[in-house]
Amino acid sequence: MRPLHLEKKGLRGLAIAESFRQNSRKSILSGIVMRRDFVIDGFVFGSTTLDADDATEVILQMYEDLKRPDISYVLISGLIISMYNIIDIKKIHESLKIPIIGVTYHDSEGIEDSIKHHFPDSYESKIKNYQKLGIREKITLHTSSDVFVRKEGCTLHEVKYLLNELTLQGSFPEPLRVAQLLAKSLLQKGLSF
């Protein structure tokens, strides 16, 4: 397991965000390799299936496609993406041996009821995967905005330090903001992967 070396100016992370339309079958995932000093030095793309269970494998493949052993952590905008496609953060951490951080921006009471409503005949496995994620932890950033995180392979103190370094304004860390913009632009252009 590789720890976070927060003192390194050139610390590189892979930030992943998605964009999709409600009537689509697929969601576009974009990944940005960004250094702590905001220099971008890599892109990768993937797609997940709405309502399915392929997000974890797609993210692992995106990491492999980069062929970048210098990536020190993965930052993901949400661990429940593409209409209840739940990312197994523990599996990604065990496979990549680097810290994995899922970031969300709103407090909620949970989504079990929504899963039951959306998957009336097959909700048990989705709820089990959702519960495996564990409880989100709240962080108040130096911008005074709150984010909620789940993490593997690092401490809450390390996550707060890293997110404060990466967030210029509001609640969106810059690598996730850029990844989100790229995914949205690709979706608007009708591109698919």
pLDDT of residue 107: 87
Q: What is the pLDDT of residues 151-192, one digit of tens each?
A: 999 999 999 999 999 999 999 999 999 999 999 999 988 777
Asked if residue 20 lies in contact with residue 26, where contact means CB atoms within 8 angstroms, the answer is yes
Checking 180-185 for CB contacts under 8 A at 24+ apart, the result is 180/17, 180/18, 180/19, 180/30, 180/77, 182/17, 182/30, 182/32, 182/43, 183/17, 183/18, 183/19, 183/28, 183/29, 183/30, 184/19
pLDDT of residue 108: 84
pLDDT of residue 193: 67
Query: Is residue 1's pLDDT more than 90?
Result: no
Classify domain 12-188 by CATH number: 3.30.2170.10
pLDDT of residue 34: 97
pLDDT of residue 121: 84
pTM of structure: 0.94
> Distance between CA atoms of 55 and 46, rounded to whole angstroms?
9
Q: What is the pLDDT of residues 3-62, one digit of tens each?
A: 777 777 789 999 999 999 888 899 999 999 999 999 999 999 999 999 999 999 999 999
Given the DSSP bridges, would you call strands 26-35 and 12-19 parallel, antiparallel or unpaired? antiparallel
Q: What average pLDDT does range 74-90 have in this prediction?
A: 95
Domain boundaries, given as residue ranges, for the chain: 12-188
pLDDT of residue 154: 95
Q: What average pLDDT does range 59-72 have in this prediction?
A: 97
pLDDT of residue 24: 85
Q: What is the pLDDT of residues 93-128, one digit of tens each?
A: 999 999 999 999 998 888 888 998 889 888 888 899
Query: Is residue 64's pLDDT more than 90?
Result: yes
Question: What is the 8-class DSSP label of residue 142?
Answer: T
